[in-house]
Amino acid sequence: MIEESTPAVSRGLWWSGFVLSLLTVLFILFSAAGKFAKPEGIEENVLPLGWRMDQLTTLGIIEVACIILYAIPQTAVLGAVLLTAYLGGATATHLRIGEPVFIPIIIGIFAWVGLYLREPRLWPLAPIRK
């Protein structure tokens, strides 16, 4: 059996990926915290999106579950896929009511670029030519 070697990640690439991944984790945790805390005035922001206040906790749990899977190296790809699905739903929700959609799209890009830069096993899936 021939075992393929995984290329080494340079320190610069790894740290760049780590920072993008950390920004993703912090943003999603901040979003989930708001759903759990339900600060005053959040109802005015949530109702136009089509969500009820009693659904926020469930959305927060989904966010935390996705981000935990994303943060664990062995399940990071699964976490990124699930996070992408969640952010796709957020994009569709905001687009439906005419709100800007760039934030969930940017967070999704950060999640995948961060993972791509620190995980060389993903490099063959989306090769970047020099």
**Which of 124, 120, 117 has the alpha carbon at shortest distance from 18?**
117
pLDDT single digits (tens) 23-64: 999 999 999 999 999 999 888 888 888 889 999 999 999 999
Residue 18 forms part of a structural domain = yes
Tally of CA atoms within 13 A in the half-sphere of 76 that contains its CB: 22
- The residue segments making up the domain with residue 84 are 11-122
pLDDT single digits (tens) 81-92: 999 999 999 999
What is the tally of structural domains in the chain? 1
Residue 3 forms part of a structural domain = no
* CA–CA separation, 61 and 57 (whole Å): 6
Residue 39 forms part of a structural domain = yes
Residue 129 forms part of a structural domain = no
Report DSSP letters for 96-118, one per residue: HTT---HHHHHHHHHHHHHHHHH
Residue 31 forms part of a structural domain = yes
Whole-prediction pTM value?
Answer: 0.87
Start-to-end Cα distance in the chain: 31
CA angle 44, 32, 35 (to 5 degrees): 30
